[in-house]
Structure 1
Amino acid sequence: MRSSRPYKSPNAALLWSLVLPGFGQLYNKDYFMGITLLGLEFLINLKSNLNLVLVNSFKGDILAAHQPVNYSWALFYPSVYGFAMWQAFNTARANNHKLTGNEVEKRTYLTGFFIGLVIGMDFGLFWHDCRYIKMLPFLDYPVFNGIVLGVLLGLVGHFIEKKHYRKSA
């Protein structure tokens, strides 16, 4: 029989939240936050028609990918998604510090990356129809443009965060 381990892998928590917001919190046994984030994910996904946009984007049907999007709801999704991954990762790190008897760090990790990710995903979702982006047909889809801009701005945010902590340390 397998014994339960109190140690929680921050990378596993982050990856579980990457799969679906709230799963990383459930992995960390933060049930209230996990169920709340799952509920928000389902509500925003349902109201924004995100699944239809994803299916049509992967099928390559650009017109069908643009039509069902409800941007009033879709712009909330990157925030929930980014927060879920950031919170799961940092909660697992804090849990592991408590287990070793150390004081919990006040510093959080990957904050710059996730702030950049959320801003980039929102910009990508909002600006996917921009005439400059139409030069790259792959980025004319709301989902793909959001992912590309999200990762790029996430890397910029991570670089800025590393520079800031290097100066203050």
Structure 2
Amino acid sequence: MRQSRHYKSPYAAMLWSCVLPGFGQFYNRDYIVGSLLIGLEFIVNLNSNLNLSLLETFNGDIHSAHHVIDYRWALFYPSIYGYAIWQALNSAKANNNKLDGKEVVHRTYLSGFFIGVVLGMDFGLFWHDSSFFSHFPVMKFLDFPVLNGLLLGLMTGTLAHIIENKIYRKSHISKK
């Protein structure tokens, strides 16, 4: 067991997990969870050819970006990515509450946002190859699988966060 716990910035933990799923857990000293997430990230990333699709996206080659990626594996990546960021943030907040002597709250933070991000990224990967984009040349950049997933993920995550806050506020007001 750990002898001493140090303050952990929830946002630093979250950003480390944005860099690579599992790094935020290492920052929080959750080595088992971090190792598992890094292992899953590498397995899914290698089998989906996600990095090759990103490379083709940055090179501007839509055709290659579509054909190099294996969507059967790529659809797992948003779940691993979203969970790693969410878990790192909430683990750091729980650690800091213990340090401050506060009771550990059984509430999680930004759950709606990360559920929305995962769903939006999955839908973006799934629906990226749409004839809709051929009618609007200004939006042609969304025809890339990863960019469409990121944009749709951020949009649904923001919407889910707003909905979560409305429900949470209503339930808190009705309890008082």
- Shared fold, TM over 0.5: yes
Distance (Å, rounded) in 2 between the aligned partners of 1:14 and 1:145:
22
**Runs (5+) with no aligned partner, structure 2:** none
Deviating beyond 4 angstroms after TM superposition, the runs of 4 or more aligned structure 1 residues are none
Distance (Å, rounded) in 2 between the aligned partners of 1:88 and 1:131:
38
Partner of 1:48: 48
Aligned length: 166
What residue identity is the alignment partner of 1:150?
G
> Is the contact between residue 5 and residue 99 of structure 2 (CA under 8 Å) also seen in structure 1?
no
> Is the contact between residue 53 and residue 64 of structure 2 (CA under 8 Å) also seen in structure 1?
yes
Partner of 1:166: 169
Partner of 2:123: 123
Deviation at 1:5, TM superposition (A): 6.8
Equivalent residue in structure 2 for 1:144, among 142, 147, 150: 147
SS at 1:126 equivalent: helix
Larger CA deviation: 131-140 vs 96-105: 131-140
Distance (Å, rounded) in 2 between the aligned partners of 1:69 and 1:24:
27
Deviation at 1:103, TM superposition (A): 1.0
TM-score w.r.t. structure 2 length? 0.92
Cα deviations by residue, 1:58-106 (Å, 9 ceiling, x for unpaired)? 1100111011111110000000000000000000000000001111110
What residue identity is the alignment partner of 2:117?
L
Distance (Å, rounded) in 2 between the aligned partners of 1:140 and 1:71:
15
Distance (Å, rounded) in 2 between the aligned partners of 1:74 and 1:57:
15
TM-score w.r.t. structure 1 length? 0.96
Cα deviations by residue, 1:97-120 (Å, 9 ceiling, x for unpaired)? 000111111010000000000000
Instruction: Determine if the alignment matches structure 1 residue 25 to structure 2 residue 28.
Output: no
Instruction: Determine if the alignment matches structure 1 residue 95 to structure 2 residue 95.
Output: yes
**Runs (5+) with no aligned partner, structure 1:** none
What residue identity is the alignment partner of 1:142?
P
Distance (Å, rounded) in 2 between the aligned partners of 1:36 and 1:65:
28
Instruction: Determine if the alignment matches structure 1 residue 85 to structure 2 residue 85.
Output: yes
CA RMSD, Structure 1 to Structure 2 (Å): 1.0
